[in-house]
Amino acid sequence: MTDTIKHHLTDDLLMGYAAGALPEAFSLVVAAHVSMCDECRARLWAFDTLGGALLEGASPDGMSQDSLGQTLARIKSNPEAGPTAPEPRVITTGVFPAPLRDYVGGDLEDVRWRPVGMGVKQAILPTVRSATARLLYIPAGAAVPDHGHRGTELTLVLQGAFSDETDHFGAGDIEVANEDLNHTPVAGIEADCICLAATDAPLRFNSLIPRLAQPFLRI
């Protein structure tokens, strides 16, 4: 899995997660990606270590400019000493990574999907409502309607793949979208695409039908 992941979390998201500052829905997506991705697990561990050092009173000025780089280099050169992943437990069998299994109470077969239209289905996960986490099921070759974003949207691919105006995203990849991006994600034709997505503001759909359905779908 890890070797095929090309799209990773931003430093801001990893730092926010390490500091416990993200909305629950975002934390879930970060934890799920980290549990699938050695690289982000190492970066998170470095942020945790740095954060701990700062809390213990080390002055930031006293730390070399490149503390993070050095920590990462140490992790890379000695993977055995690396992170043991504090919360995001390492992937299990099945489609869902462990942090997600806890929310769903099982795996893919336990999800109660609701149709969104055009064959796309979703299942909203129970989190505090400052941000929404949902599972998305996009049939092979189908598209999510063209939309923009009023806030941040994190989309983690769990199975299959999708492409949009920016790139191709396969299993384990995460797309971080914001106000600057307008896109039409289209599932690959080889397999149905299953994603875990989190948003902290309603999407901005460009066509009428999805806009009308929005309040009911909490999307």
Nearer to Zn ion, 129 or 150 (CB): 150
Q: Of 13, 32, 177, 195, which lies in the binding site for Zn ion, with binding defined by CB under 5 A? A: 177
Interface with Zn ion includes 40 (CB under 5 A)? yes
Contact status: 173 vs Zn ion (CB under 5 A): no
Instruction: State the DSSP H helix or E strand holding residue 155, giving kind and residue range, or none if neither.
Output: strand 153-159
Q: What is the largest CA-CA distance in the chain?
A: 57
In contact, 184 and 164? CB cutoff 8 Å? yes
CB of 40 to Zn ion, least distance (A): 3
Residue 30 or 50: the one with the smaller Cβ distance to Zn ion is 30
CA 96/CA 32 separation, integer angstroms: 8
Strand partners, 187: 162
Q: Does 8 engage in binding with Zn ion (CB under 5 A)?
A: yes
Between 54 and 166, CB nearer to Zn ion: 166
Q: Which residues fall within 8 angstroms of residue 89, CB to CB, at 6 or more apart?
A: 35, 98, 99
Q: Is 134 in the site for Zn ion (CB under 5 A)?
A: no
- How many residues line the site for Zn ion (CB under 5 A)? 6
Query: d(Cα 169, Cα 162) in Å, to the nearest integer?
Result: 5
Q: Name the minimum Å distance from CB 37 to Zn ion.
A: 3
Cα dihedral 124, 144, 12, 72 sign: positive
Give the interface segment with Zn ion, choosing from 36-44, 52-60, 64-72, 186-194 (CB under 5 A): 36-44
- Nearer of residues 31 and 177 to Zn ion, judged by Cβ: 177
Distance CA 59, CA 44 (A): 21
Task: Kindly state the smallest distance separating residue 62's Cβ from Zn ion, in Å.
Answer: 30
CA distance 155 to 157: 7
CA distance 102 to 158: 15
Cβ of residue 177: shortest distance to Zn ion, in angstroms? Answer: 5
Could you say whether residue 153 binds Zn ion (CB under 5 A)?
yes
Q: Using CB under 5 A, which of 13, 14, 28, 37 touches Zn ion? A: 37
Of residues 32 and 177, the one with the C-beta less far from Zn ion: 177
Residues that bind Zn ion (CB under 5 A): 8, 37, 39-40, 153, 177
